[in-house]
Structures are given as C-alpha cells and as structure tokens.
C-alpha cells in the first residue's frame, strides 16, 4: 500500500515537473530574440530605375533590388521574410536569390510620399523606401544599413535630375512599442534651366507685354486698357496651368508668391490706365502725359521691391 502511494507520488511529481518544463520551453521559444540577444539584419538597396513620379497623386513608381544579410544563429530566413514596406504596395515582389545568410528580392511598385511644394517649381523631393518587420519589435530585431547600397548609373526619370541618396535606420513607435525601420532616401531635383524656361520665362514675357502700355500715348487709353486686360487674362490662365501639376495644398508655393507679385503689377498698370483715361476725358492731355511719366518711374521701384521681397522670402 505504501509502495503504491509512493509510486503515485513520484508519478505526480514527474507530471508537475514536465508541465513546468513545458511552460518554460514555450516562454523561452517566445523570447528567442530578446533585447539581450536581439537579431541584427543588414538591409541594402540597388535602385534600378525611377519609372514614374506623379506629383498630383503624391506617388512614384520604383524598380529596385532589396536584400537582407543576417546571422542564421540569430534569426532564421523565414522570420527575415516577414517584413513589410510601410509606404507602398509593391505590385511585384520576387525572390531572386536565397542563401543561408542572405535573401534578395526584385521589387517593383507604387510608393506614397507627402511632397513639399514650398519651393515649387524649383523644389527638390525625397523619394523613400521604408520597411519594418511585421512581428519583431526593436528589442528583438534591429536593421542595419549595408554598404553595398547604390543607385544604378542608368537610373533616370523624365524631367528630373537624380541627386544623391542616403540610408538610415530609425525607431518608429506604435504606442508603447517601437519597431526598427530602415529608410532608403533618393533626392530628385528639377533642372534649373528647364524650370526657368517653363515657369518663369512665359509669365515674364506676358508681364513685359502688358507693361508696354506705358509707351502708348495717353490719348489711346482704349488700346492701353485692352492690352492690360488681355494680358491679365493670359497670366491668370498660365497660373492655373502652372498649378495643375501639383495637388491642392493649403500653403503658398514659390509659384503662388511669384504670381501675387505679377498680379500687383497688373493692378498697378490697370489703375494707371484708368486714371489716365479720366484725365484725357477731362481734356487734361498734358497732365495725363506727365502722370504717365511719373507712373513709369514708380513702376521701376515697385518691380525692384517685389523682386527683393521674393528673394528674401
């Protein structure tokens, strides 16, 4: 009887010990990557091409290679594959090479970015590729930048110049939990000569034509007002066309500030022409001629002031 009780006691103790060891094993499995032994994964990008940039939609299409280098003793390849690109939805993601300590993808797709148009049409933009791990936070996995990252020499995008690139790793927080985020950034800028010819030169010509009214005789005030109004309408149409390539934004761009200065000049021109018309109708042709001369001198000061304001802002 005592032997039977002893046997039952031993069996019960073995079951309890097995249950404790099982729980401990599960806890250890869940803590495979701890802050004391977190996995390090090196990330690299080889940008093949910038296929398209759509400013109105705040999107761009990229074609690139993405690879991960890691220590298999720290993290397995299946876990490495559980990443996500947080600022885009790639249309094509293909594994082209997989080794014990390296996985490489070919990725093409659309990416999103909130562009800054403060200096439009002479602005620069930064296109980014941002990725995080889906499950492992920064205490379990941290990304590192790979020195082999580069931009292909044949990469280009119509209407833009490709500048330099950089890669960084930051911690992105979701409430109380932070994740390691790898960010590849590519700088795009507009060619200065092209931007000037397409954006500044046309409105400069329109404004210059409008200001020819100061060299028309005050007696021909009808032609003066007609020329000023028609060029004002052309300037307004050009303004709308200039801003059609960017999304609706809640702040003034460089193009907006430039057009405000142009509208100030047009308003001054029309005001002078209307006042001269009143003088001519009152049979004060000589006074109208003198006023036109003074107004032309004030115009030079006005233009210089407006240009200075644009350069300071």
pLDDT in tens, 2-40: 444 445 454 445 454 454 444 444 444 444 444 447 899
pLDDT at 10: 43
Please tell me whether residue 39 adopts helix, strand or coil conformation.
Answer: strand
For residue 302, the 8-state DSSP code is H
What stretches of 175-303 adopt beta strand conformation (E)? 177-189
Six-digit token string for 76 = 């397995």
pLDDT digits (tens, 9 = 90+) for 220-246: 888 889 999 999 999 999 999 998 888
- How high is the pLDDT of residue 91? 87
Interacting residues of 158 by C-beta distance below 8 A, sequence separation 6+:
none
In this prediction, residue 56 carries a pLDDT of: 86
Token digits of residue 2: 């005592």
DSSP string for 163-188: EEEEEEEEEEEETTEEEEEEEEEEEE
Q: Which domains does the chain have, with CATH numbers?
A: 39-190 (2.70.170.10), 193-312 (1.20.58.390)
Supply the angle between the helices 221-243 and 201-211 in degrees, to the nearest 10.
170
Residue 159 vs residues 35, 164, 186, 229: alpha-carbon distances, Å: 47, 17, 16, 33
Per-residue pLDDT tens over the stretch 189-225:
999 998 999 999 999 999 999 999 999 888 888 888 9
35 versus 119: which is more confidently predicted? 119
Pairing of strands 59-70, 102-112: antiparallel
pLDDT at residue 163 greater than cutoff 90: no
70: β partners: 41
What is the arithmetic mean of pLDDT over 88-109? 93
């Amino acid at each position: 009887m005592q032997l039977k009780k002893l046997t039952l006691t031993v069996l019960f103790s073995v079951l309890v010990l097995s249950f404790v060891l099982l729980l401990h094993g599960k806890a250890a499995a869940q803590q495979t990557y701890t802050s004391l032994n977190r996995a390090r994964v090196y990330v690299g990008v080889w940008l093949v091409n910038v296929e398209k940039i759509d400013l109105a939609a705040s999107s761009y299409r990229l074609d690139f290679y993405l690879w991960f280098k890691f220590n298999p003793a720290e993290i397995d390849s299946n876990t490495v594959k559980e990443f996500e690109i947080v600022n885009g939805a790639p249309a094509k993601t293909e594994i082209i090479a997989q080794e014990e300590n390296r996985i490489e993808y070919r990725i093409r797709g659309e990416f999103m970015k909130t562009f800054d148009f403060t200096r439009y049409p002479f602005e620069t933009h930064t296109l980014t590729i941002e990725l995080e791990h889906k499950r492992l936070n920064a205490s379990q996995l941290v990304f590192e930048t790979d020195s082999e990252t580069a931009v292909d020499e044949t990469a280009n995008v119509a209407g833009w110049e490709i500048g330099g690139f950089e890669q960084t790793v930051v911690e992105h927080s979701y409430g109380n939990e932070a994740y390691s985020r790898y960010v590849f950034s590519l700088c795009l800028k507009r060619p200065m000569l092209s931007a000037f010819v397409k954006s500044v030169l046309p409105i400069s010509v329109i404004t210059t034509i409008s200001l020819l009214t100061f060299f028309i005789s005050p007696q021909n005030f009808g032609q003066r007002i007609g020329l000023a109004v028609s060029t004002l309408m052309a300037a307004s149409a050009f303004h709308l066309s200039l801003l059609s390539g960017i999304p609706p934004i809640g702040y003034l761009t460089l193009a907006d500030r430039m057009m405000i200065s142009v509208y100030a000049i047009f308003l001054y021109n029309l005001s002078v022409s209307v006042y001269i018309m009143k003088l001519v109708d009152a049979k004060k042709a000589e006074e109208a001629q003198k006023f036109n001369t003074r107004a032309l001198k004030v115009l030079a000061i006005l233009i210089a002031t407006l240009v200075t304001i644009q350069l300071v802002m």
